[in-house]
Amino acid sequence: MSEALRVGIAGLGTVGASVLKILRDKGEMLTRQCGKEIVVTAVSARDAKRDRGVDFSSATWFDDPVALAKSNEIDVFIELIGGDEGPARASVEAALRSGRHVVTANKALLAKHGVSLARIAEDKGVLLNFEAAVAGGIPVIKALRESLTGNTVSRVYGIMNGTCNYILTRMWDEGISFEDCLADAQRLGYAEADPTFDIEGNDTAHKLAILTSLAFGTQISADDIYLEGISNISLADIKAADELGYRIKLLGVALKTESGIEQRVHPTMVPVESVIAQVHGVTNAVAIETDLLGELLLSGPGAGGAATASAVIGDLADIAKSRPGFQHGPVFGTPAKALAPYKRAKMRAHEGGYFIRLTVHDRAGVFAAIAKRMADNDISLESIVQRQSASNQPEATKTVILVTHETTEAAVKKALEGIVKDGHATDKPQMIRIERAG
Ligand SMILES: NC(=O)c1ccc[n+]([C@@H]2O[C@H](COP(=O)([O-])OP(=O)(O)OC[C@H]3O[C@@H](n4cnc5c(N)ncnc54)[C@H](OP(=O)(O)O)[C@@H]3O)[C@@H](O)[C@H]2O)c1
């Protein structure tokens, strides 16, 4: 049996404590599978006294995760602190520079500094593994980095935030408002006390930025993602989508066009019969479209202690199984120095078209005026329906729902501005993109 692999863990919260428990409970199995024992020799967190539900008294305690990262007591550093700067960044950099392999679940750090960290890892000949950073337990990083080598990827899209999918699913299933669903999600521990990062799409954007780099062999550009969250999705939208044969999901979408790459995160209507529309609750799913494979869909638990720790343990086992002295594969599938510069796609027509919901005064000529504004902006309509609004409204209003064919965002925005200027709309118009989905 080879010498034991010595591991240091910084961050003993939800994921860190789960990793410790799995290593304790499955130590024998992992030793057999990896051909060597995995031993946690050092740990770090803020509070040395807190009960973590697992005994780590045999490991050396470090108050400073950077000191742990550089310690001679470890071969692998596992970063489970979180955050794109501060102790997470400093400790990961320190570990890589001192020739330690790194495993992290930190999407924020990778979305911001992934390429520079990959350069350090590759210069030092060590591994930087981050399966847990995107869609928790789903092995999407390995799929893109290893299994799909040789495929040309055209589009990656997915549901990558369990909180948003939980809220949208319950709104659809039970007709509960966004605010009430969010409050429930917080009570059940699916949403943070400050849920902004999840519901406004930032969390999905970090994950998408990482997938984009892996899928298209480009440098990461998290700042270039068009971002729109789910907080303005109403029950009226969910109901209208249902009637039209769609489901609303918060999708992250990255696609390669002739002029460059398009990355966006926004509420999206997907056909009810598509596989992605069947992904409910806190479950995540990532679809990858390639020339050789067609569409691959990976679905499963995207968060939670055990599911996320499962990915961390898989990454750790890869390191334990790797042979010393062997050249390690590139962090983002392509050597960091060879990643192409990121090039943003030119504005173009959105393939799937748009859903538009308008609340308008119930007056003669409104319907015709809306159709004219659309025609003036070269927008062709797949359908236009109107219905009477609830009788408890102070004034007679109608809801008008339009579905457009392929058109540009600029044209839709201009048409809606015109409708508002005409004085017909009583509320801000709602616009949701429709996405082709398998
Ligand atoms: N939770 C999930 O489902 C999930 C899923 C996918 C990815 N992730 C990622 O996994 C990482 C960890 O998430 P988590 O949910 O486990 O977070 P968490 O429960 O908040 O745990 C964070 C840990 O970091 C420790 N910490 C904070 N500042 C520190 C410092 N300066 N020095 C040393 N330790 C410090 C905390 O110590 P104390 O305990 O003493 O306060 C705590 O143990 C994040 O990058 C997150 O994005 C989480």
With a 6 Å cutoff on the Cβ, whether 361 touches ligand 1 is: no
> Residue 324 has what pLDDT?
75
Percent of the chain, pLDDT > 70? 98
Nearest ligand 1 atom to alpha carbon 15 = 16
Percent of the chain, pLDDT > 90? 88
Residue 350: pLDDT band with limits 50, 70, 90? confident
The pLDDT of residue 192 is above 90: no
Residue nearest to atom 21 of ligand 1 (CA): 13
Task: Name the residue of 18, 46, 204, 283 whose CB sits within 8 Å of the most ligand 1 atoms, as the mutation to test its pocket.
Answer: 46
The pair of structure tokens assigned to 134 is 């995107």
Burial classification of residue 161, based on how many CB atoms lie within 10 Å of its CB (0-12 exposed, 13-18 middle, 19 or more buried): buried
**Residues noted as catalytic:** 207
Neighbours of 47 (CB within 10 A): 8
With a 6 Å cutoff on the Cβ, whether 366 touches ligand 1 is: no
Alpha-carbon span 380 to 375, nearest angstrom: 7
The pLDDT of residue 200 is above 80: yes
With a 6 Å cutoff on the Cβ, whether 138 touches ligand 1 is: no
The pair of structure tokens assigned to 319 is 């390191």
With a 6 Å cutoff on the Cβ, whether 87 touches ligand 1 is: yes
Q: DSSP letters along 132-173, please?
A: GGTTTTS-HHHIIIIITTTPPEEEEEEE--HHHHHHHHHHHH
With a 6 Å cutoff on the Cβ, whether 428 touches ligand 1 is: no
> Residue 329 has what pLDDT?
87
Residue 205: pLDDT band with limits 50, 70, 90? very high
Residue 106 Cα, ligand 1 centroid: separation in angstroms? 9
Residue nearest to atom 31 of ligand 1 (CA): 87
90 CB-near residues (< 8 Å, 6+ apart): 65, 66
Q: What is the average pLDDT across 430-434?
A: 95
> Residue 252 has what pLDDT?
98
Residue 348: pLDDT band with limits 50, 70, 90? confident
Alpha-carbon span 329 to 205, nearest angstrom: 26
Residue 82 Cα, ligand 1 centroid: separation in angstroms? 5
With a 6 Å cutoff on the Cβ, whether 94 touches ligand 1 is: no
**Which residues lie across from 271 on neighbouring strands?**
246
Residue 393: pLDDT band with limits 50, 70, 90? low
> Residue 389 has what pLDDT?
66
The pLDDT of residue 276 is above 70: yes
Q: Provide long-range contacts, Cβ within 8 A and 24+ apart, for 370-374.
A: 370/400, 370/402, 370/419, 370/424, 373/415, 373/416, 373/418, 373/419, 373/422, 374/402, 374/404, 374/415
